Amino acid sequence: MKYAVIDISSSSISLTAADDKGGEPFFRARESLTLLHYMDGHALSQRGIEKLIEAVLAMQEKCRSVGVDMLYLISTAALRAVLNSEEVHEEIFSATGIPLNFIDGETEAYCDYVANRAYGEAEGGAVLLDVGGASTEICDLNMEDREGLCCLDFGILTLRKKFVEKIQPGEEEAENIRKFLKKRFKKAGLPKKGVYDTVVLAGATNLALYAVYAEYTKTHTVGERVMDLKKFRKLTEHLLSGAGRAKLILDVAPDKLYAVGLAAVVAEALCKRFGAEKIVVSNKGVKEGYLELVRSGSFRGAYYDFSQEAGAKGRSVPQAAVSRPSAPTGKEQTVEAKKEGATPAADAAAQPAKRRGRPAKTKEEGAAPAAQPAANAAAQPAKRRGRPAKAKAESATPAADAAAQPAKRRGRPPKAKAPEQNGDGEENV
């Protein structure tokens, strides 16, 4: 079974596809699409909706050509925040048949965590930073599951609107942003120096930041994307006031023109707060995490089933036969299954899920099913990895403090509907 996730962000639409064997993604694609230029006030213009549909259709075709079976379309703050998000959803579905899953900030953070938890194995503690359009996710990668997640309700677009007059932030604007970040990090209870040695940057904007860094420092990347802290600081200075900063970004990451400078300021501020000595840039983020969660059966998002397309039987699959789940895949059966609230992925989840990644902790109850991570976390106190935390009166980390209190929901209120179905209650195609 091949899965794919398409992510609509504020500046691009990207695709990752992987099979159910748990390995690395076998296909990726990306197309720039700067939604900012297609806004009419706080609503996405008709032209913007057309461009989105065009891009989604192109990605759908790519999925078809590489034999994807199940396609998930997700969007985070980029579309969540637009005034006419319902209209956008309906038009995309009407044109492509693909239902759109809006995911909130906390889910975004969790997907980031799932995709990058392997970095938590490193010595010295690691924290992940993903700066999106309207939200920022910070994840303690040493913590188990959702415990170390922190979702802040500002992102690149928010910072830009609040602090930046033109396209690139200037030095004075950057100073104001740093003060703002300091307050917000403090309010979120993020720890200071001594807890994390490594900051892992995730997300398309941070990947673009790395591309700019590599171009600026003439770094030839082999293996892990690592940024030298001193050189990174110099780059940040250059992005705030250097003569060739716009050209540098346009040469390497033109669709992130509005974002790279701000992303650098945020990353630098976080590194400074944590006293981190190492910056690693991951090429895995929300999409990869979501992909892992759907193929393990932990998530049950609405999806597009290519096997239901006309002529699907004759569809040529470029390699050896792909294994299919034992759950029935006939149209009526799929509809029937949807009405009961199950999906082929959920069928797999009904059985103990095969755990991937790090070995499960030894527990008296046995290995925890991947479908119930939150329950397991609540059942046992989190075991901390990495450098011991400094002694505090209340708890190990402020992130755990946040987790101990009822999570404050951000973004749009959840819809009251089954996640397997789209807003109209129609079955997935």
Exposure on the CB side of residue 42, measured as CA atoms within 13 A:
8
State which H helix or E strand residue 350 sits in.
helix 344-350
Q: Which of 10, 142, 168, 296 binds another protein (CB under 8 A)?
A: 168
**What is the three-class DSSP state of 72?**
strand
Nearest residue to 107 via CA among 371, 300, 286, 322: 286
Q: Does 264 bind another protein (CB under 8 A)?
A: no
Q: Does 378 bind another protein (CB under 8 A)?
A: no
Q: Which of 247, 324, 331, 390 binds another protein (CB under 8 A)?
A: 247
**What would the two tokens of residue 333 be?**
């059966």
Between 47 and 390, CB nearer to another protein: 47
Q: Does 379 bind another protein (CB under 8 A)?
A: no
Q: Does 38 bind another protein (CB under 8 A)?
A: yes
Interface with another protein in residues 185-244 (CB under 8 A): 243-244
Q: Does 49 bind another protein (CB under 8 A)?
A: no
Q: Which of 21, 22, 24, 37 binds another protein (CB under 8 A)?
A: 37
The residue count for the chain: 429
Q: Does 283 bind another protein (CB under 8 A)?
A: no
Q: At closest approach, how far in Å is the CB of 163 from another protein?
A: 15
Q: Does 167 bind another protein (CB under 8 A)?
A: yes
Measured in whole angstroms, the distance separating CA 391 from the mean position of its chain's CA atoms is 32
The residues, ordered by sequence, that sit 6+ positions from 335 with a Cβ below 8 Å of its Cβ are 427
CA angle, residues 72, 359, 120, in degrees to nearest 5: 75
Q: At closest approach, how far in Å is the CB of 168 from another protein?
A: 7
Q: Which of 2, 16, 44, 51 binds another protein (CB under 8 A)?
A: 51
The residues, ordered by sequence, that sit 6+ positions from 179 with a Cβ below 8 Å of its Cβ are none
**What would the two tokens of residue 209 be?**
């930041």
Between 20 and 91, CB nearer to another protein: 91
- Please report where in the chains the tokens 């398409």 appear, as a residue: 6
- Output Rg (C-alpha) for the chain, integer angstroms: 21
Q: Does 166 bind another protein (CB under 8 A)?
A: yes
Question: Which amino acid type is present at position 113?
Answer: Y
Between 75 and 334, CB nearer to another protein: 75
Q: Does 53 bind another protein (CB under 8 A)?
A: no
Residues in the interface with another protein (CB under 8 A) total 24
Q: How far apart are CA 329 and CA 309, in angstroms?
A: 12
Q: At closest approach, how far in Å is the CB of 166 from another protein?
A: 4
Stretch that binds another protein, among 33-41, 111-119, 174-182, 410-418 (CB under 8 A): 33-41
Question: Which amino acid type is present at position 151?
Answer: C
Q: Does 32 bind another protein (CB under 8 A)?
A: yes
Judge whether 167 and 246 are in contact, CB under 8 Å: yes
Q: Which residues bind another protein (CB under 8 A)?
A: 32-34, 36-38, 47, 50-51, 165-168, 243-244, 246-250, 254-255, 257-258
